[in-house]
Structures are given as C-alpha cells and as structure tokens.
Amino acid sequence: MMIGAVWNIRGLNKRGKLQCITDFVSENKLDFSFQETKKETFEDSFLNYVNRDFIWNFLPAQGTARGILVGLNSNKFEVLAWQQTRYFVSVMIKNCSEKFVWRFISVYGSAYKEGKADFIQELSSLLENWDGPALVGGDFNLVSN
C-alpha cells in the first residue's frame, strides 16, 4: 500500500508552514508528497527537515505563480527518471518491494487563458508514449462549462 498527498501549500515561507508540512508527512506516514509551493528554490536543509528519507525534485516558481515540490520515500521507491516541463514535474518510479513501475505527473496549469493550450499539449506529450499506469495530480486551473 502507498499513501500520498497532493497539497496546495501556498505561503510556504510563512511562519509555521514548514513544521506543518513536516508534521503532516510524518503523522500520515506519507510515501509520496507533491505540493504547489510558489517558491523559487529549496535548500537541502529545508528538504531534509521535512523528511530526510525522501528523494526531492522541484520546479521553481515564476514570480507569484507555480512552483512544484515532489518528494518520494527512498525506502519504498526507486526513481528511474525525472522530467520537468513548463507545467509539470514527472517521475517514473519503481516500487522497491513489488518492482511495479508507474509514473506520477504533478501539474500546475496556467491560471491564464493564453497558457491553457500549451498546458494541455505538454500533458498530451508526456503521456503519448507511456503505456503504463500513471497518476496525474495537482492544480489544473481548468474549468469546464
């Protein structure tokens, strides 16, 4: 069994947020965690404080938008490949115990009309040559009429 969370954690620099995230990951025994951060960089000390057993990757924020942080428990998963695009952090993962290979794609879609088509095209490109299981989560910023 795997336990994960996708969390829009705006205000990551605010007092108390780091401890909140650390407690949430620990108390829920998360195996993977994906966050919208609105942060441009992460220090190793910050990431290790959240969970030193996680393998981390992130897509920097651009101004006040985006920013994706992906963490995976290195005791449960082997990372086979990372891929970053303008709107995604994608990771191909192998579960250590079952040798099950799957893909997680963490998204942060454009909040503006002019970026919507690019967002959909990138997602299509990421999935067009993948025939295995995939989990896509995050902030799509899409509304259907």
In a domain, 144, yes or no: no
In a domain, 123, yes or no: yes
Short-list 106, 113, 69, 109, CA closest to 90: 106
Tens place of pLDDT per residue across the chain (145 aa):
889 988 877 667 778 888 988 999 999 999 988 787 878 888 999 899 999 999 999 999 887 777 899 999 999 999 999 999 999 999 999 999 999 999 999 999 888 888 899 999 999 999 998 999 999 998 898 877 6
Q: Give the amino acid at 123.
A: L
Structural domain count, the chain:
1
Strands 134-139 and 101-108: parallel
In a domain, 106, yes or no: yes
In a domain, 55, yes or no: yes
Full residue range of the structural domain in which residue 25 is found: 4-139
Tokens standing for residue 80: 């086979």
At residue 27, the pLDDT reads 94
> Using one digit for the tens of pLDDT, what is the confidence trace for 86-107?
999 999 999 999 999 999 999 9
In a domain, 125, yes or no: yes
In a domain, 75, yes or no: yes
In a domain, 145, yes or no: no
In a domain, 113, yes or no: yes
Residues 6 or more apart whose Cβ sits within 8 Å of residue 137: 6, 34, 104, 105, 106, 107
User: What's 131's domain CATH number?
Assistant: 3.60.10.10
> Using one digit for the tens of pLDDT, what is the confidence trace for 9-20?
766 777 888 898
At residue 52, the pLDDT reads 93
